[in-house]
Amino acid sequence: MTTSTSTHYRSCPLCEASCGLSLTVDGEQRVTRIAGDAADSFSRGFICPKGAALHHLHEDRDRLPGPQVRRGDDPDSARWESVSWEEAFAEVERRLTPIMDAHGRDAVAAYLGNPNTHNPAAPLYIRPLLKALGTRNIFSASTVDQMPKHVSSGLLFGDSNSIPVPDLDRTDLLLMLGANPWESNGSLCTAPDFPGRLRSIQDRGGRFVVVDPRRTRTAEHADEHIPIRPGTDALLLLGMLQVVCAEGLVRLGRLEPLVQGMSSLHDWVRPFSPDKVAPRTGVPAATIARLARALAQAERAVVYGRLGTHTVESGTVAAWAVDVLNLVTGHLDEPGGAMWPLAAHQRPGRGRGPGFSTGRYHSRVRQYPEVRGEFPVATLADEIATPGQGQVKALVTVAGNPVLSTPDSGRLDRVLRQLSFMVSVDPYRNETTRHAHVILPPPPPLSRSHFELAFAQLAVRNVVKWSPALLPPRGPSEAEILARLSLIAGGQGAAADPALVHTLLERGLLASRIKHHPALTDHDVDALRDRLWARAPEDRCYEVMVRLGAYGDQFGQVAGGLTLEQLSTEPHGVDLGPLRPRLPELLRTASGMVEVATAPIGKAVAELAASLETARPEGFVLIGRRDLRWNNSWMHNVPILARGRRRCTLHMHPQDAAELGLSEGQTAHVASRVGRIAAPVEVTDSIMRGVVSLPHGFGHDLPNVALSVAAANAGVNTNVLTDPERLDSLSGNAVLNGIPIRLSAHDLSAGDEPS
Ligand SMILES: Nc1nc2c(c(=O)[nH]1)N[C@H]1C(S)=C(S)[C@@H](COP(=O)(O)OP(=O)(O)OC[C@H]3O[C@@H](n4cnc5c(=O)[nH]c(N)nc54)[C@H](O)[C@@H]3O)O[C@H]1N2
Ligand SMILES: Nc1nc2c(c(=O)[nH]1)N[C@H]1C(S)=C(S)[C@@H](COP(=O)(O)OP(=O)(O)OC[C@H]3O[C@@H](n4cnc5c(=O)[nH]c(N)nc54)[C@H](O)[C@@H]3O)O[C@H]1N2
Ligand code: SF4
Ligand SMILES: [Mo]
């Protein structure tokens, strides 16, 4: 036995911040300690409790050791059996193929959860899987999250992935809505040590303002906290736009020749004077006007809106208004404003493209338009439960827990039982995967390489890093699991060689990347493949992207250009500099302009204007919240993170609690149009009156869930209350914040629900 220890550096894959970690590994190949990597080019030593517990997550005893097959029809009482990988894939083929043959491609649905964005192999390998399935019934966590921002970016800039991020390190004024980075560590804005970067704004004489119905930890540190009535950010932002337009504060600067639709914008925002929107938002008219003027007059300023701004009924209008405010006040694509990174795996664009649209086809039951090739996950249960041609009979989930994370999840939990077959790629048997017939557990995060695909495109600096796998995997990689599922879905069978998919991906990536390449168009794809340095299939894809990316060596054509081999010698990452202006090159609209006034937004803004004339909604509304020590539904099983006081509580203002006769720790009964729950009250003046808050991701007490630590502190599932019919119409995103509810100290009887 050897006792020597070694230190390794790699990125934390658990949230968007992608912090550099320093891991101590003992002679037995066990990680004994994790600290922040002080030399990391981006995070400079920052770490949070989740990153420091990554090895505990890696070693979680409840992580499934291998594939499992369910024996028995009732997920509440069924027995689970460990099988070999070959048996598991054979079982998938045996049960999935007949359903596709008998009922057609749309009879199989797919749900893709959030951790797919944290695993770079997933976006690469999910594409061939979805292609092989050939189904239109694709759902993901995007429609309980950021879909509004995709739609607004698509409409404005022609590319739904071109989301501008606040240039935190150079701004002097940040107006932040519906985000709580002190707990979340940031979202659609990759900025390790987000809190430290906010403090730096203050240290250099700037300030940041938080708009949130709760006085969050972020709001406590802010220079100003502005409480807002949930669901009304679009009105506040339109009010600010009205002030900017009416007071002649519009300043497009160098973007003037690149902007289309300004006269419509002036017309659209006219009805939204601060006086009109103040009673709706709860934000005083004078505050709205003051914020607008401050933004317009600041040299370096930026508006940033996140989850609380997006997961509401006018999420897309709010997302659009954020960018338009930045644009008209001269803060878009400018240092200190909202800018776009250019990641190492990306290439600059050509300033024009096909543009963005939605609704190429519609969902079967509720006729929701397709958005980025998906339907709202809020309608997944409808597609399973409603008989007829095209009914969903089978489901593939990858890294998702919709039974806790999506609307009306009590119903989803019931209707998943109707499926003829379900297969889940997931390390745990949890609330969702207990419904599966086969569970295929991927290796834990320390057993795979890491390269930022998603978040490098959202980072506040251009940075690149590649972390090779640290510990050997016990079974097939997630890439291989997904490749084998693709082969089954594509009819090649369970025994087909996954190398077929690896090669297809590699060749496809190379071919598309050299197609318009000035120096490589004539090159042979296979000759270039022979020159790849990496061995693992997913690493070879990252290598192609890096070498043919904006800073790459272009296969030897650019001296000193990046290669993956070079990145293997840079465990702290490579800093590629601050964000640089990208307009017009990044645009993919048909006009080659920023299209401010597209028809879908115009219609939605007109509807909002009309709503100002109707009666103001009354009654309690429910919002969510996050906590630094867990991530959505799946980190409650790590003892060191689960310790401490009870956290699945209903936050309530002291006066509201007094009026309802509720006090600290007592049970509150909560009913919405679709469900009811009971939760312990936590009285706090950090939440505004008329609003209560409950975190999501709890409710671990369902039968046959194998999460021993989480089950001991099960909590309640707030999404039992979320109404599946309340969506942001432009994006299909669920309304998770601002849900009308009824509250009582006593059991609520049927008929008590708000309408
Ligand atoms: N009420 C309310 N609901 C919400 C939200 C809210 O704020 N309020 N937030 C929403 C948001 S922003 C999101 S993103 C969604 C999340 O929704 P989901 O993605 O559906 O849920 P998660 O809880 O993230 O579940 C992640 C699943 O992935 C598995 N997993 C973890 N690591 C891996 C891996 O490496 N590979 C694979 N294959 N699986 C893995 C976990 O075991 C778990 O089953 O929830 C949404 N739901
Ligand atoms: N520790 C931890 N980190 C996480 C996650 C986690 O679960 N735990 N989840 C990750 C994921 S998947 C995501 S998407 C990100 C999300 O990260 P953030 O976007 O920062 O989201 P939250 O932390 O949920 O903060 C949203 C805030 O919006 C407020 N809010 C609610 N309704 C409204 C409204 O109508 N208007 C305004 N202005 N505010 C409102 C809430 O009170 C809350 O403080 O976090 C990621 N990071
Ligand atoms: S903030 Fe925490 S969870 Fe997120 S990347 Fe950093 S260490 Fe990991
Ligand atoms: Mo999310």
Q: Over the stretch 245-279, which tens digit does the pLDDT of each residue have?
A: 999 999 999 999 999 999 999 999 999 999 999 99
pLDDT of residue 2: 53
Helical (H) or strand (E) element with 392: none
Question: What spacing in Å lies between the alpha carbon of 281 and ligand 1's midpoint?
Answer: 30
543 pLDDT exceeds 90? yes
Closest CA to 340 of 172, 170, 457, 254: 457
Distance linking the first and last C-alpha atoms of the chain = 67
Closest CA to 254 of 202, 330, 178, 184: 330
Handedness of CA 550, 555, 560, 562 (dihedral sign): positive
Mean pLDDT of 270-294: 98
- How confident is the model over 737-744, as a mean pLDDT? 97
Residue 28, amino acid = E
pLDDT of res. 750: 57
**Closest residue (by CA) to atom 7 of ligand 3?**
51
625 lines ligand 2 (CB under 6 A): yes
Mean pLDDT confidence for 141-168: 98
pLDDT band at 561 (very low <50, low <70, confident <90, very high): very high
Q: Specify the ligand 2 atom closest to the Cα of 114.
A: 12
Alpha helices in 516-653 (DSSP H): 525-530, 537-547, 564-567, 599-611, 639-642
DSSP per residue, 642-694: H-SS----EEE-HHHHHHHT--TTPEEEEE-SS-EEEEEEEE-TTB-TTEEE-
Provide the pLDDT for residue 754.
Answer: 63
| Surface-to-core class of residue 430, CB atoms within 10 Å of its CB (0-12 exposed, 13-18 middle, 19+ buried) | buried
Question: For position 370, what pLDDT does the model report?
Answer: 98
Pick the atom of ligand 2 nearest to 628's CA: 1
If you average pLDDT over residues 316-343, what whole number do you get? 98
Structure tokens at 638: 């790590």
pLDDT at 645: 76
Residues making up the chain, counted from first to last: 755
Query: What is the pLDDT confidence band of residue 752, given thresholds at 50, 70 and 90?
Result: low
**CB neighbour class for 61 (10 Å; exposed up to 12, middle 13-18, buried from 19):** exposed
What ligand is nearest to the CA atom of residue 13?
3
Q: What's the rounded mean pLDDT across residues 44-52? A: 98
> pLDDT at position 509, please?
96
Global pTM reads 0.98
Q: For residue 156, is pLDDT > 80?
A: yes
Closest ligand to residue 12's CA: 3
Q: What percentage of the chain exceeds 90 in pLDDT?
A: 95
Residue 360: HSE in the Cβ half-sphere, 13 Å Cα cutoff: 7
d(CA 427, CA 57): 11
Taking residues 596-623, what's their average pLDDT? 95
| Dist. CA 274 → ligand 1 center (Å) | 38
Select from 634, 70, 54 the least CA-distant residue to 401. 634
Show the tokens assigned to 649: 């509580």
Residues with CB under 6 A from ligand 1: 113-115, 119, 141, 144-145, 307, 398-402, 405, 425-428, 430, 442, 478, 624, 632-634, 696-697, 718-719, 722, 736
